Homo-oligomer: A and B are copies of this chain.
Amino acid sequence: MRLLVVEDEARLAAALQRGLRAEGFAVDVARTGPAGLDAARHGGYDAMILDVMLPGLSGYELVRTLRAEQHWLPVLMLSAKDGEYDQADGLDCGADDYLTKPFSYVVLLARLRALLRRGAPERPAVLAVGDLRLDPARRRVTRADTEVTLTAREFALLNYLMRRPGQVISKIELLDHVWNASLETAPNIVEVYVGYLRRKLGRDRLETVRGAGYRLAT
């Protein structure tokens, strides 16, 4: 899931990015209204978190413009509760949901998930492929009932692969979702981590499909 955060306060932006990445989202940040609008138009995001007070172009105007151009990206709006703007305005101009600062992180997450959920199926509690099991809540992985300890990055990678067993997944896609890296990042890092996983899970569990990507054996 790819998210766009449009926020000019550096600390809040950084905190959001960190927190959401920890939840497994790929997060990009834009710091001004125009930059945000541009990213929203072309970035292929699944949702946008948008501050109202922005340099260059207000959040309201941004959403209005986007909607006028027939972009229907889900938008979660944030505003300082200083009375100048109010919630009704936010929803009026085309935002899908609305939070006033200061807000709780858990609430943000809940609302965000609600936005994204439209149509998306609920995740199963425990992923299982062959004799591999992965429990996201407990953050545990077992192979034939013996526990395997993984680092955060290894866990994220396996997690992603286990959601689409048997399918070939490209390095670019993995870079994008597991590392949320730019196009310029060297794909070698993926090879390195696939190597780590192979050592821990068994050699033939991850197949290489030359020129295409990797596949988790079912």
Contact = CB atoms under 8 A, between A and B. Distances in A.
B138 A167 contact: yes
A215 B138 contact: yes
A114 B139 CA distance: 21
A149 to B, nearest CB: 10
Contacts of A212: 22, 139, 152, 155
Interface of A: 11-12, 15-16, 19, 22, 99-100, 102-107, 110-111, 113-114, 137-139, 151-153, 155, 166-168, 170, 172-173, 175-177, 182-184, 209-212, 215
Contacts of A16: 183
A172 B107 contact: no
Those 9 A-B pairs whose CB atoms lie nearest each other, nearest first: A152-B211, A15-B183, A139-B168, A107-B110, A106-B176, A110-B110, A137-B167, A107-B107, A105-B183
9 contacts: A12-B184, A22-B211, A22-B212, A99-B106, A105-B172, A106-B111, A107-B111, A138-B168, A139-B215
